[in-house]
């Protein structure tokens, strides 16, 4: 594992706030790992029992029914924490959407270290509370919003989330971005089918609300219209 000192998420991930000695200790417990797009990091009901920080790339958290239906229940971006410390084994698989680099720890090691470092547990708590907030607003979307509302909300969220990681150091949401999702994956986030997603994208393009320069690229032409549609 290369040194945390050069880590790009050192000051944003839960490791921020640890002093050099602590970072060294944590460093010695973990290791870096690369995951290619499409490759799983954790299987549903896995017993490999690991947790991780995302350094680079985007990963999906997904649950599936026996008959193959999938629902993406979370998306992890750089500096996000992955896995289920303390007790339970995670009920969701983690799969890389893009090529990604993560910093992984055995869950037991991490649990012990965390319990000895309240500052780290506090960071993890704040993160978990935020994730719970985000997840709850996604429940509203899944349970009560129509397909057009879902798509508009999704595009707005993407333009905000991807701006933080984006190349340009500009503030505010990105006007143009590259989706880390295929159409099927967008469907799995929104609780729709791929056909419905495709039709809604086409409709927004025809209405002049967005441009679709390529399969993965999106440009928001009329943000006001999207906001109105998102409800």
Partner DNA sequence: TCCCCACCTTGACGCAAGTCAAAAACGGGC
Partner DNA sequence: GCCCGTTTTTGACTTGCGTCAAGGTGGGGA
Applying CB under 7 A, the residues found at the interface with DNA are 146-148, 182-184, 191-199, 201-202, 212, 214-216
Q: From the CB of residue 123, how many other CB atoms can be counted at a distance below 10 Å?
A: 19
Residue 224 as a binder of a second copy (CB under 8 A): the answer is no
Which of a second copy, DNA, none lies near 136, with the C-beta cut-off 5 to 8 A by kind?
a second copy
Residues 92-151 that bind a second copy (CB under 8 A): 92, 115, 118, 121-122, 124-126, 128-133, 135-140, 142-145
Task: Please answer whether residues 168 and 183 qualify as being in contact, where contact means their C-beta atoms are separated by less than 8 angstroms.
Answer: no
β-strand partners of 75: 60
One residue of 22, 44, 56, 70 binding a second copy per CB under 8 A: 70
Residue closer to DNA, measured from CB, 123 or 145: 145
Which of a second copy, DNA, none lies near 31, with the C-beta cut-off 5 to 8 A by kind?
none
What single-letter DSSP state applies at residue 18?
Answer: -
Residue 69 as a binder of a second copy (CB under 8 A): the answer is yes
Which of a second copy, DNA, none lies near 167, with the C-beta cut-off 5 to 8 A by kind?
none
| Distance in angstroms (rounded) separating the CA atoms of residues 219 and 231 | 20
Residue closer to DNA, measured from CB, 143 or 224: 143
| Distance in angstroms (rounded) separating the CA atoms of residues 111 and 42 | 17
Helix axes 183-190, 147-165, angle to 10 degrees: 110
| Distance in angstroms (rounded) separating the CA atoms of residues 37 and 59 | 9
Residue closer to a second copy, measured from CB, 166 or 231: 231
Which of a second copy, DNA, none lies near 39, with the C-beta cut-off 5 to 8 A by kind?
none
- What phi, psi does 190 have (nearest 5°)? -95, -5
| Distance in angstroms (rounded) separating the CA atoms of residues 60 and 180 | 10
Quote the tokens at residue 68: 């193959």
Residue closer to DNA, measured from CB, 6 or 214: 214
| Distance in angstroms (rounded) separating the CA atoms of residues 216 and 220 | 13
Interface residues with a second copy (CB under 8 A) are 61, 63, 65-67, 69-71, 73-74, 84-88, 90-92, 115, 118, 121-122, 124-126, 128-133, 135-140, 142-145, 190-191, 231
């Amino acid at each position: 594992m290369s040194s945390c000192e050069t880590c790009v998420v050192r000051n944003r991930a839960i490791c921020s706030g640890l002093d050099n000695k602590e970072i060294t200790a944590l460093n010695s417990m973990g290791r870096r790992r690369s995951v290619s797009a499409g490759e799983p990091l954790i299987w549903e009901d896995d017993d490999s029992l690991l947790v991780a920080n995302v350094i680079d790339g985007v990963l999906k958290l997904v649950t599936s029914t026996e008959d193959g239906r999938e629902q993406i229940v979370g998306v992890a971006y750089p500096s996000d924490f992955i896995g289920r410390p303390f007790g339970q084994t995670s009920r969701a698989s983690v799969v890389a959407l893009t090529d990604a680099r993560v910093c992984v720890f055995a869950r037991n090691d991490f649990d012990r270290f965390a319990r000895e470092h309240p500052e780290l547990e506090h960071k993890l708590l704040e993160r978990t509370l935020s994730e719970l907030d985000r997840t709850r607003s996604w429940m509203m979307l899944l349970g009560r919003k129509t397909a057009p509302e879902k798509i508009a909300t999704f595009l707005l969220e993407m333009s905000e989330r991807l701006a933080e990681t984006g190349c340009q150091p500009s503030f505010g949401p990105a006007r143009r971005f590259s989706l880390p999702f295929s159409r099927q994956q967008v469907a799995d986030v929104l609780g729709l089918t791929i056909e419905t997603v495709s039709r809604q994208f086409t409709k927004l393009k025809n209405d002049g609300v967005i441009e679709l320069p390529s399969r993965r690229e999106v440009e928001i032409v009329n943000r006001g219209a999207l906001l109105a549609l998102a409800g």
